[in-house]
Structures are given as structure tokens and as C-alpha cells.
Chains A and B, each alone.
Chain A
Amino acid sequence: MITNDMNVFMILVSSLLVNNILLIRFLALCSFFGLSNKVETSMSMGMAVIFVMVNASAVTWLLYHWLLVPLHQEYLRTIVFILVIAALVQFEEMYIRKNFKDLYVSLGIYLPLITTNCAVLAIAILNIDYQLSFIKSIVYTIGVSVGYTLAIVLFATVRDRVFLAPVPRAFQGYPIAFITASLMSLAFMGFAHLFGL
């Protein structure tokens, strides 16, 4: 668990390794299995996730604490967050396409996919649930999204090798991917209790 009393370094370690979003918390698994066929693809997806998640966290945190809390409408957060995230991603896609051509080519098609990435909404909600301050929620978001990138790139490199291995017929395709993820998750369990987290 993350709390606001923890210092920035502990939040980073916890979100990046100990509570890795993909392998320990089970969020954003659709993209984890869908987009990890190639290392380059997973890298681009990771970059797009870092970009969108940090923006979305900042905007939703401000909206919640400056708009919903003063108006006592906290129960609306699910509806507000999902709409704001969807609109934000659309807007960012248009802005990047117009002004940053190179960035658009590398991130482009992954940006719309992120709207349906449950991790973005999850982190926006967790920032509120853990009662983090603005700065700490941004740090937490950076840790989570870099952890996402780390796990998906590692997974893609492992799947590259599994692709060449003789796999029993029943396990071909997704089953072996799940077994691989299980072993990686086991490895990440090794980080448990690091620095007492």
C-alpha cells in the first residue's frame, strides 16, 4: 500500500518493482498480451502510456480536489474520470498529430488504444484512494508507468525467444504466454518486502 507519509523514493520503488502494475497488480493486461509480440511495439506502447498516464493523473487529481470535493460530488468520480480521460486522449492525439510529426509517427496508433487501457483510470482512482498530494501522485504515476514499460519490454523480449521454442500444441499461443507471465511475476515477487515495503 502507498500512503502520503512515504517519501518519494519509497513510492517510486513500490510502484516500479514491488507492486508492479502488470505482474503484481493485474492491471492493463489486454495490452500486455496483445502488444508484446515485438520489442519495438511494446516500447512505443510503454512510451505512450507514460505520456498519457502522467497527463491524465494530473488533470483528474486537479478536477477531483478543486471541483468535485468543493461541490461535494465525490461519487461522480467514475463518470467524470472516464469521460475526461477519453476526451484528453483524443485531444492529445490531435495536438501531437498537428505539431509533433515524429512523435506522432512513433506513438500515433497507440494513443487511442490507451483510452481503453484500464490502468489509466485505475491510477487516477488510486491517487485519490491513497490520498496522495499532487506531487506524490505524479511521482506515483511515473513509477507505475515506467514499471509498465519495464515489464512489457521484458515480456516482449522473453516472448521473442519462446516464439522459437518447441511448445506443446495445447500450450501454443496464449497459454504459454500466461505461463511466461507467471514465471516473470514469480521473479517480481522476489522484490516483495524490499526496504520493508
Chain B
Amino acid sequence: MAAEKSTLRVFLNGIVEENPILVLMIGLCPTLAVSSNANDALGMGAAASFVLVASNLLVSLLRKHTPASIRIPIFIVIIAGFVTLIDLLMHAYQPGLYKNLGVFVPLIVVNCIILGRAEAFAYTNGLLRSAADGLGMGLGFTLVIVILGAFREILGNGTLTLFNTELFNLGAGFTPALVFIMPPGGFLAIGFLMALKQKFWKKS
């Protein structure tokens, strides 16, 4: 079934049809925890996407040499290696972001999306297709988390920041609903996002 899809379809699959957060309901912890502003959400999405593409590539490259019985520990070591890499890089070049994301940077290693794609896709598919799948899933994850982050930041703080620059500020006339940047707002925002999805998104 998967072999018949074109590479483009594989790429789009992660963004729409099998969006990891909205459809598969995985990777919830970082989604809620770092989406209190759009900037952190984008950083988290980028870091997770990088690990996803890199681990998909390596798993796909090594798939003929990976014995089936010990594949899961091997996947975990590959993923943990890339997570350590991004952890050190972010600590060195984006210290502010690193501080905001906190424990959720090393926790990318237990993000079910990444292990799930290694097991379900990269282990049985070629290099190019695995990279496309990783990129699609990563973008699907990033898209949802940034939308959530932007929504919460605008309502809860009256601002929108991306790439460390403030895009706009609603100013003093706007009274922000603080609850949206606090933990209850995270649950509330994703609850409404999912309700919207159930309302307007027909299941195929």
C-alpha cells in the first residue's frame, strides 16, 4: 500500500491525512507544554523535525543491516544520538530558546512521533521516501504547534513573536486573557482545535 504512493503523497500524508497531533493523537506533551508562545513552538517544531528527518534517514540507510529482533533499541539509540546533537547545538546557539524549552529538549527522544515513524515507515522504505515522510510529519507537527502557539500568545499576551522578533503588539488597549498562556489554556486551546477538526474535517 505504502509502496504505491508517490513521494509527494508521502510528504503530504504527514501534513494532512495523518497529521501526528490532530489525527494520530501522539506527541501531545511537547505540543501543550511549549505552545504558550509562537516563538518557542516554532523552535520546538524545528528541533523535532530535524531529529525526525535525520533519524528517518539513518534508520532507512541501516534498514538492511538492522536485525528485526533488536530494531527498537537501535532506533532509540539513533534518535537519542540526534537529540543529544540538537540539545548541545541549541544550548550553544539559542540559549534563550533552550532555557524556555527546558526539559522538553531531551524529551524529544521519547516523542512517540519519531519512534513511530522509524518503526512504521523508515524501516521498510527507501532513503528519499523516508526523508519525505520525516519532513512531512515534521511540518505537520510544526504547523499545529505554531498555530496553537500563535493563538495562545495573541489571546493571552496580545503579541505575536516568530524568529525572535515581535511581529505585532495589540498594545495597551487590549486586555489579554492570561489564562491562555497558563496551563489550563493549553488544554482549552487544543480541545477547541480538535472540536473544529471534528466539525469540519470529514473522515475519509
- Complex interface: chain B residues within 8 A of A169 (CB): 198-199
When distances are taken between beta carbons in the complex, the residues of chain B under 8 Å from A26 are 29, 32-33, 183, 186
Q: Is A164 an interface residue (CB 8 A)?
A: no
Contact partner, B84, options A78, A182, A186, Cβ 8 Å: A78
Contact of B73 among A33, A83, A126, A176 (CB under 8 A): A83
Q: Can you list 20 A-B pairs with a CB-CB distance of less than 8 A?
A: A25-B183, A26-B29, A26-B183, A29-B29, A78-B80, A79-B77, A82-B110, A83-B76, A118-B111, A121-B109, A169-B198, A170-B195, A175-B191, A178-B187, A178-B194, A182-B186, A182-B187, A182-B188, A182-B191, A189-B183
Q: Provide the A108-145 mask, 1 if CB < 8 A to any CB of B, else 0.
A: 00000000111001100110010000000000000000
- Distance A92 CA – B7 CA, assembled complex (angstroms): 43
Q: Could you tell me the distance in whole angstroms from the C-beta of B39 to the nearest C-beta in chain A?
A: 18
What A residues does B115 contact at CB under 8 A?
A: 116
**B88 within 8 Å of A (CB atoms):** yes
Chain B CB within 8 A of A8 CB: no
Q: Please, which residues of chain B bring their CB within 8 A of the CB of A122?
A: 103, 107
Query: Which residue of chain A is the closest to B91 with respect to CB atoms?
Result: A75
Contact: A125 with B106, CB < 8 Å?
yes
Q: Does A71 touch B at the CB level, under 8 Å?
A: no
Given contacts A26-B33, A78-B87, A82-B76, contact A33 B106 (CB under 8 A): no
Number of A-B contacts (CB under 8 A): 114
Q: How large is the interface on A (under 10, 10 to 19, 20 to 34, 35 or more residues)?
A: 35 or more
Which of A26, A170, A186 counts the most B-chain CB atoms under 10 A from its CB? A26
- Top 8 A-B residue pairs of the complex, sorted by shortest distance between their CB atoms: A178-B191, A182-B187, A26-B33, A175-B195, A170-B199, A79-B80, A185-B184, A182-B188
The chain B residues found within 8 Å of chain A, CB to CB, are 25-26, 28-29, 32-33, 73, 76-77, 80-81, 83-84, 87-88, 102-103, 106-107, 109-112, 115, 179, 182-188, 190-192, 194-196, 198-199
Contacts of B184 in A (CB 8 A): 182-183, 185-186, 189
Shortest CB–CB separation between residue B107 and chain A, in angstroms? 5
Q: Is there contact, CB below 8 Å, between A175 and B198?
A: yes
**Most chain A CB within a 10 A radius of its CB, from B111, B115, B190:** B190
A48 CB-CB contact with B under 8 Å: no
Cβ of A59: which chain B residues have Cβ within 8 Å of it? none
One of B81, B87, B183, B194 near A23 (C-beta < 8 A) = B183
Determine which of B29, B73, B106, B111 lies in contact with A86 in the assembled complex, contact meaning CB atoms within 8 Å. Answer: B73
A175 and B106 contact, Cβ closer than 8 Å, known pairs A30-B29, A78-B84: no
Do A86 and B76 touch (CB < 8 A)? Answer: yes
CA distance A82 to B191 in the complex (A): 31
Given known contacts A82-B110, A86-B76, is B191 in contact with A28 (CB within 8 Å)? no
Residues of B within 8 A of A173 (CB): 198
Q: Least Cβ distance of A180 to chain B in Å?
A: 8
CA distance A174 to B32 in the complex (A): 14
A182, B83: Cα distance in complex, Å: 30
